[in-house]
């Protein structure tokens, strides 16, 4: 089995894919773009990047038939990374434009509360509430780069997904995780060395998931 | 806590970083991707890349050099110069820019700000305002476009409010009077704008040393501070600027202690 993790970046139409592609390449992944359902068959780690509003992105995902493949990927516990809008899309819906989103994590995307400036643009501290292997080797309050006005808020019942929060006005959730899924509100691909370390940790984790023998087959043969 | 940002600016003409005084008398300062990588390593919080020839020459942004620059630095990149449409902005974002700065085209067609914000989100739309003092004290300022060549009669404070209300997520305010002169930022102009808008404002034009960065934030109320010549020519390091800001009690992102 090859050691190279194949990272598929979901292209939902707008924004900068160069930075995330380059960053994943630098940390050792083999990067391709996911534009249609069959593209997910040839990747090990699915990455949904992006900035901006939810509705245009969801429109593209629906049009290209990517909604069910992404939901199925997450339901099968395969390695997944959502960045900024890619994290917000995991919740049920967004207050930014009323879009109904993927509904993978119970909660909504809401406007930042009491923020002194909006959009929240710049470096801010990501304060970890729990340890997570994706943040291995990174200080517990390290700075990452943000550029957004909205953030996802898990329902109280789903609060166990919260990994970190960040303060700009009222604190908001800046990282979540559930099994092989991780979502970050900041941009690791634009957050210097710590951002690259986080991506390297996520790619390494995907490698170990890929290497693990497919247990469903073991059970079938046992 | 949100940090005050220090942003080196790459003014690019004919594929090279250049720097002039009050937008003229350009001097070669180096290769854009190389400088971008150096600044990322030295603790820059973000980079601004301005294709200063695009608007006066009436041509689109140089995408290949944007992409080569974006690939070399894993910090945010704002690109301006020559963006006149939603399609232009899409091309610049796809080349690796995180934000796009609109200037001349936004003054000509303010609706472009709203169109770009609707498609890419307001956080991706920076409106760059080049302002010049009309005369002696208290006469106010005027917006100048086309690389500092064409006065518009617009009041930069009113234009800033209008741009923010149309969907600009950030403003880059340059004092042409101070640009390249190393006489300090126009903190009066900055404060007048910052106090009227809720979006972040980047101060530009006039840095001579670390104290000017402190004053741009303290007196100009700027959220971020941009400079070119003093960094290109290694007159001051990003680390020394941040050290001065930290000593003044301003929140800055921790920077490499050994940066030159």
Residues in B touching A118 (Cβ below 8 Å)? 198-199
Average of per-residue pLDDT across A198-214: 84
Residue B253 lies in a domain: no
Give the number of domains in chain A. Answer: 1
The string of pLDDT tens digits covering residues A109-118 is 999 999 999 9
Average of per-residue pLDDT across B113-130: 94
Average of per-residue pLDDT across A191-206: 97
Residues in B touching A165 (Cβ below 8 Å)? none
Kind and range of the H or E run holding A131: none
| Half-sphere exposure of residue B249: CA atoms within 13 angstroms, side-chain side | 1
Residue B255 lies in a domain: no
For residue B208, the domain's CATH number is 3.20.20.70
Amino acid B176: pLDDT: 95
For an interface test with B, give the residue of A123, A144, A149, A195 to mutate (most B CBs within 10 A): A123
Residue A60 lies in a domain: yes
For an interface test with B, give the residue of A14, A15, A121 to mutate (most B CBs within 10 A): A121
The string of pLDDT tens digits covering residues A29-87 is 999 999 999 999 999 999 999 877 788 899 999 999 999 999 999 999 999 999 999 99
The percentage of chain A sitting over the pLDDT mark of 90, rounded to a whole number, equals 84
DSSP state of A161: G
Amino acid B91: pLDDT: 93
B219 to chain A, closest Cα gap in Å: 17
Region for B219 from its dihedrals, namely left if φ exceeds 0, alpha if ψ lies in -120 to 50, beta otherwise:
alpha
Whole-angstrom Cα distance, residue B132 to residue B206?
A: 13
pLDDT surpassing 50 at residue B259: no
Amino acid B138: pLDDT: 76
B96 to chain A, closest Cα gap in Å: 5
By three-state DSSP, how is residue A219 classified? helix
Amino acid B58: pLDDT: 84
Label residue A2 by pLDDT band (50, 70, 90): low
Give the number of domains in chain B. Answer: 1
What would you report as the CA-atom Rg of chain A, rounded to the nearest whole angstrom?
17
Domain of B226 in residue numbering reads as 5-247
pLDDT, averaged across chain A = 92
SS3 track for B81-144: CCCCCHHHHHHHHHCCCCEEEECHHHHHCCHHHHHHHHHHCHHHEEEEEEEEECCCCCCCEEEE
More confident residue, B189 or B61: B189
The phi, psi pair for B4, rounded to 5°, reads -80, 130
Label residue A219 by pLDDT band (50, 70, 90): very low
Amino acid B257: pLDDT: 57
The string of pLDDT tens digits covering residues B149-201 is 999 999 999 999 999 999 999 999 999 999 989 999 999 999 999 999 999 99
The string of pLDDT tens digits covering residues B67-110 is 999 999 999 999 999 999 999 999 999 899 999 999 999 999 99
What's the ipTM? 0.92
Amino acid B258: pLDDT: 47
Amino acid A14: pLDDT: 66
Label residue A178 by pLDDT band (50, 70, 90): very high
The string of pLDDT tens digits covering residues A131-149 is 999 999 999 999 999 999 9
Label residue A215 by pLDDT band (50, 70, 90): very low
Cross-chain residue pair B224–A52, CB shorter than 8 Å = no
Residue A92 lies in a domain: yes
The string of pLDDT tens digits covering residues B28-40 is 999 999 999 999 9
Residue A1 lies in a domain: no
Amino acid B53: pLDDT: 85
pLDDT surpassing 80 at residue B137: no
Amino acid A221: pLDDT: 39
Residue A151 lies in a domain: yes
Cross-chain residue pair A18–B71, CB shorter than 8 Å = yes
Amino acid A52: pLDDT: 72
The sheet that has A93-94: what strands, in order across it?
Answer: A93-94, A107-111, A150-154
Cross-chain residue pair B3–A123, CB shorter than 8 Å = yes
Catalytic site includes residue B211: no
Residue A198 lies in a domain: yes
Whole-angstrom Cα distance, residue B27 to residue B19?
A: 5
Residue B44, both tokens: 């820059």
User: Strand A45-48 to strand A80-83: parallel, antiparallel, or no bridges (unpaired)?
Assistant: parallel
pLDDT surpassing 60 at residue B260: no
In B, minimum Cα distance to A150 occurs at B123
pTM of the full predicted structure?
0.93
For residue A55, the domain's CATH number is 3.40.50.880
B149 to chain A, closest Cα gap in Å: 31
Least confident of A5-14, A87-96, B156-165: A5-14
- Determine contact, residues B144/B134, Cβ cutoff 8 Å: no
Q: Does B127 touch chain A (CB under 8 A)?
A: no
User: Between residues 67 and 86 of chain A, which touch chain B (CB distance below 8 Å)?
Assistant: none
Q: Does A97 touch chain B (CB under 8 A)?
A: no
Amino acid B178: pLDDT: 95
Candidates B2, B99, B169; nearest CB to A124: B2
Domain of A185 in residue numbering reads as 6-221
Cross-chain residue pair B74–A149, CB shorter than 8 Å = no
Candidates B70, B90, B199; nearest CB to A19: B70
pLDDT surpassing 60 at residue B57: yes
The string of pLDDT tens digits covering residues B213-249 is 999 999 999 999 999 999 999 999 999 999 999 999 9
The phi, psi pair for A192, rounded to 5°, reads 60, -150
pLDDT surpassing 70 at residue A216: no
Cross-chain residue pair B74–A192, CB shorter than 8 Å = yes
More confident residue, B9 or A97: B9
Cross-chain residue pair B70–A16, CB shorter than 8 Å = yes
The sheet that has A181-184: what strands, in order across it?
Answer: A30-34, A6-10, A45-48, A80-83, A181-184, A170-178, A162-168, A127-128
In B, minimum Cα distance to A143 occurs at B253
Residues in B touching A124 (Cβ below 8 Å)? 1-3
Amino acid A149: pLDDT: 92
The catalytic site residues of A sit at 84, 187, 189
Cross-chain residue pair A196–B74, CB shorter than 8 Å = yes
């Amino acid at each position: 089995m090859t050691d190279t993790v194949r990272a598929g970046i979901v292209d939902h139409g707008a924004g900068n894919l160069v930075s995330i592609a380059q960053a994943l390449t630098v940390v050792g992944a083999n990067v391709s773009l996911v534009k249609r359902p069959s593209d997910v068959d040839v990747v090990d780690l699915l990455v949904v990047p992006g900035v901006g509003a939810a509705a245009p992105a969801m429109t593209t995902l629906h049009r290209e038939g990517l909604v069910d493949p992404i939901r199925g990927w997450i339901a099968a516990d395969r390695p997944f990374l959502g960045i900024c809008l890619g994290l917000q899309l995991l919740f049920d819906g967004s207050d930014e434009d009323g879009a109904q989103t993927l509904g993978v994590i119970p909660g909504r995307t809401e406007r930042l509360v009491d923020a002194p400036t909006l959009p929240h643009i710049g470096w801010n501290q990501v304060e970890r509430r729990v340890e997570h292997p994706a943040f291995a080797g990174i200080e517990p309050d390290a700075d990452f780069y943000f550029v957004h006005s909205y953030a996802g808020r898990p329902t109280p019942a789903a609060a166990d997904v919260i990994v970190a929060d960040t303060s700009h006005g009222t604190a908001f959730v800046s990282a979540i995780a559930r099994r092989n899924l991780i979502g970050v509100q900041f941009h690791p691909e634009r957050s210097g060395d710590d951002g690259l370390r986080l991506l390297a940790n996520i790619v390494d984790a995907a490698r170990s998931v890929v290497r693990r023998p497919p247990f469903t087959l073991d059970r079938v043969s046992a | 806590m949100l940090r005050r940002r220090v942003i080196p600016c790459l003014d690019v003409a004919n594929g090279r970083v250049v720097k002039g005084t009050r937008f003229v008398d350009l001097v070669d300062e180096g290769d854009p991707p190389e400088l971008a990588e150096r600044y990322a390593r030295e603790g820059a919080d973000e980079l601004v890349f301005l294709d200063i020839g695009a608007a006066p020459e009436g041509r689109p942004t140089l995408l290949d050099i944007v992409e080569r620059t974006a690939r070399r630095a894993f910090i945010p990149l704002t690109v301006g110069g020559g963006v006149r449409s939603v399609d232009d902005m899409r091309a610049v974002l796809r080349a690796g820019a995180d934000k796009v700065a609109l200037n001349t085209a936004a003054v000509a067609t303010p609706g472009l700000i709203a169109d770009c914000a609707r498609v890419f989100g307001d956080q991706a739309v920076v409106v760059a305002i080049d302002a010049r003092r009309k005369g002696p004290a208290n006469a106010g300022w005027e917006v100048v476009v086309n690389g500092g060549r064409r006065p518009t009669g617009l009041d930069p404070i009113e234009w800033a409010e209008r741009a923010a209300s149309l969907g600009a997520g950030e403003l880059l305010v340059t004092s042409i009077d101070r640009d390249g002169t190393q006489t300090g930022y126009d903190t009066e102009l900055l404060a007048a704008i910052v106090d009227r808008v809720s979006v972040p404002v980047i101060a530009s034009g006039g840095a001579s040393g670390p104290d000017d960065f402190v004053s741009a934030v303290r007196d100009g109320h700027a959220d971020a501070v941009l400079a070119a010549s003093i960094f290109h020519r290694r007159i001051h390091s990003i680390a020394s600027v941040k050290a001065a800001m930290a000593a003044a009690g301003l929140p800055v992102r921790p920077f490499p202690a050994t940066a030159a």
